[in-house]
Amino acid sequence: MKITLEEMCDELQKVNRVVVAGHVIPDGDAIGSALALAMILKSIGKDVRVMFDDNIPRNFMMMPTCEKIERPSEKIDVDALVIVDTAPDRIGKVLECVGDVPILNIDHHVSNSGENRKLFCDPHAAATAEIIFEIAIELGIKLTKDFAVCVYVGIATDTGFFQFSNTTAETLLIASDMLALGVKPNLVVEVLEQRPIEVVKGLGQSLNTLEVWHDGKAAGMFLDEDLVANLETTEGFIDEIRVIEGVDVSLLLKFMAKNVCRVSMRSKTVDVSKIAMQFGGGGHLRAAGCTLKMPFEDAKRTIMQAIDDALN
Amino acid sequence: MKITLEEMCDELQKVNRVVVAGHVIPDGDAIGSALALAMILKSIGKDVRVMFDDNIPRNFMMMPTCEKIERPSEKIDVDALVIVDTAPDRIGKVLECVGDVPILNIDHHVSNSGENRKLFCDPHAAATAEIIFEIAIELGIKLTKDFAVCVYVGIATDTGFFQFSNTTAETLLIASDMLALGVKPNLVVEVLEQRPIEVVKGLGQSLNTLEVWHDGKAAGMFLDEDLVANLETTEGFIDEIRVIEGVDVSLLLKFMAKNVCRVSMRSKTVDVSKIAMQFGGGGHLRAAGCTLKMPFEDAKRTIMQAIDDALN
């Protein structure tokens, strides 16, 4: 059941003991929103615990009160569960842990349907953290620097530091308020962008596999079994070749297991979701992926040909 | 002679035929500020030409009216020269081209002394483009999307997309206004981040030279004669290793010519300007550089040792 921001604020004022939870594989917006909302609720006298059924990535530990996040274990007794930045299906064991209590749900994902719970969802918000800020204003909370850091990290990470298409004038207005409260963007960036040395070395090795074809309109990196063996993550690698002048379609092909290869694609004009769908994958116009169940060299030939066809 | 923003606006209203100029090796703020100011002056009926004594980097050509920028050639007859984002010593032949006319100077660099000209300088502005925006407001100009793109690019490039320490709450407020006027940050980023393929390949090769020492507190890339031969630029390369977890001092050593090597350093806590000064260089606490007049392998040993000493 969808409710308004004002109704959500009323609901939050009614409860006394609550758990605030976000999704597994937590990102900056899930964690920042949960922590900022917990600060709001504490400041109006509520008993609040924040729970994630997953590890908190090291880089996000700089958010104030992050160390107080709990993993769900034995059953606990609360009035309500507040879920941020996701529907209840992605909060893991927190659901069992709190039992059958009313759920309040705050989100910005348009796909959230809100069945069997009270949901405030604003798909125009670039981040759930924007909504948490609006709730603080609606409830007349005195904003602190700690709160500002959490909201700022949520918004900055969900907008790629204000560079993605979801960034609005309102997004930057809120970010401006967070700076006025004392957030230092350079210090936040310094912590968030930290990467393990293996990932930095892996980027170098991956760039060595760079091939450009179709008159420079396609560029790909080809990470075979040997190369991926030492690679913790390839997150962000495709962005390094996406920026090559003249490249429309960029590709990351990655060995996953014997006869299983993962394809990630980005584009400037070509509909790469169509290419992905040919192989049972999907995605968006400009960012899509699929899995090819074949040996690495066959996968390489197959996806390069499919990109050629799409560019023709 | 330093004047106020209001006095600068009065001066701008008095002139009729003007040249607006920015510094050589033009960046996004110099170009964006010059173009945005020219739009203001045109809208209040002035005859305006924009001049740079240098090539305009390809990526900036997306700024509206950028194609109208002229290179100085024969002498021209104007009432005044307006210099943005620098003092008159860095505008090349534009100075000769306009001859001995009054100079109006708008800048945000604290080092600008303002001798022999009327200068409005606001060192608290993250970019000169912020000041151009204030001038437009002061003069009551109707703001357009074209104007907004130029101001936005100026601010975004001088603040590293709102990530540098110079970013203020005011910076983000102005950026928010520019988005409200129609700027699409994702489209701006897509153009600005374009890089030639040689640079992307060069980054991969450079990362292959990565060495970490001093218990992981120092990281360096070592670009010898062979490696730099094909490298158009190494701009931004050091940022890729600066982010390695646990690294305090990061180093880029680059062969320039026989017995000449260039050192660039970044740090989190160590004062790298002190290291640079040992070798006749300089810079800031966290970003400094120097030139070592010795063979590459000697330079490598020398600078690694100096960093070791600084870390001890």
Interface-testing mutation among A124, A158, A200, A235, with chain B (most B C-beta atoms within 10 A): A200
Give residue-wise pLDDT tens across range B8-66.
999 999 999 999 999 999 999 999 999 999 999 999 999 999 999 999 999 999 999 99
Q: How far is B139 from chain A (nearest CA, A)?
A: 23
Q: What span, in angstroms and rounded, lies between the C-alpha atoms of B65 and B72?
A: 17
Contact (CB, 8 A) for A267 and A238: no
Give residue-wise pLDDT tens across range A38-75.
999 999 999 999 999 999 999 999 999 999 999 999 99
Give residue-wise pLDDT tens across range B154-166.
999 999 999 999 9
Give residue-wise pLDDT tens across range A174-191.
999 999 999 999 999 999
Q: What span, in angstroms and rounded, lies between the C-alpha atoms of B12 and B80?
A: 9
Phi-psi region of A201 (alpha: psi -120 to 50; beta: other; left: phi over 0): alpha
- In terms of residues, how long is chain A? 312
The pLDDT assigned to B230 comes to 79
CA angle A220, A222, A227 (to 5 degrees): 145
**B200 contact residues in A (CB cutoff 8 A):** 207, 210, 240-241, 243-244
Give the single-character DSSP code of A162. Answer: T
Neighbouring-strand partners of residue A70: A51
**CATH code, A197-311:** 3.10.310.30
> Residue for token digits 């390069």?
A304
Q: How far is B234 from chain A (nearest CA, A)?
A: 14
pLDDT of A233 higher than 90: no
Instruction: Indicate the residue of B167, B197, B200 with minimum beta-carbon distance to A185.
Output: B167
Distance of CA B9 to the CA centre of its chain: 25
**B161 contact residues in A (CB cutoff 8 A):** 161-163
pLDDT of A284 higher than 90: no
pLDDT of B235 higher than 90: no
pLDDT of A231 higher than 90: no
User: Is A42 near chain B, with CB under 8 Å?
Assistant: no
Q: Give mean pLDDT, residues A194-206.
A: 93
Q: Give mean pLDDT, residues A240-253.
A: 96
Q: How far is B90 from chain A (nearest CA, A)?
A: 29
Q: What span, in angstroms and rounded, lies between the C-alpha atoms of A290 and A304?
A: 13
Superfamily assignment of B5-192 in CATH?
A: inorganic pyrophosphatase (n-terminal core) (3.90.1640.10)
- Band the pLDDT of B251: cuts 50, 70, 90: very high
Contact (CB, 8 A) for B252 and B237: yes
Pairing of strands A80-84, A17-21: parallel
The pLDDT assigned to A66 comes to 97
Cβ pair A210:B201 closer than 8 A? yes
pLDDT of A159 higher than 90: yes
- What are the domain boundaries of chain B? 5-192, 197-311
Which B positions 256-275 lie with beta carbon below 8 A of chain A?
A: 268
Closest C-alpha among B247, B282, B252 to residue B267 = B247
